């Protein structure tokens, strides 16, 4: 079963398929980072800064197995380069 984070379903934007070192395909839930911020601000009454810190420490920093969910931070090609 694919893992997901509690209370963040509204931030799910899809799934990603990756291959592990044994050649097995793994499906991972993909979240929109900006939507997670909005949810934390609205539901948990966090400030923007608190939401970012929470995401960095408690979500992005948590490895919960090969199917750990992914956060996408949308950027333009100019921002990437």
Residue 72 has pLDDT above 90, yes or no: yes
The pLDDT tens digits of the residues spanning 20-60 come to 889 999 999 999 999 999 999 999 999 999 999 999 999 99
Burial class (CB in 10 A: 0-12, 13-18, 19+), 11: buried
Residue with the bigger pLDDT between 4 and 2: it is 4
pTM score, whole prediction: 0.86
What integer pLDDT is reported at residue 24 of this predicted model? Answer: 92
What integer pLDDT is reported at residue 77 of this predicted model? Answer: 85
Interatomic CA distance for residues 76 and 17, integer angstroms: 23
């Amino acid at each position: 079963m694919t893992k997901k984070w509690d209370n963040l379903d509204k931030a799910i934007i899809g799934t990603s398929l990756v291959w592990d070192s044994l050649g097995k395909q793994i499906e991972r839930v993909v979240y929109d980072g900006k939507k997670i911020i909005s949810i934390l601000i609205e539901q948990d009454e966090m400030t923007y800064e608190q939401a970012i810190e929470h995401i960095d420490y408690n979500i992005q920093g948590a490895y919960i197995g090969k199917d750990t969910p992914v956060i996408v931070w949308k950027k333009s090609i100019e921002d990437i380069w």
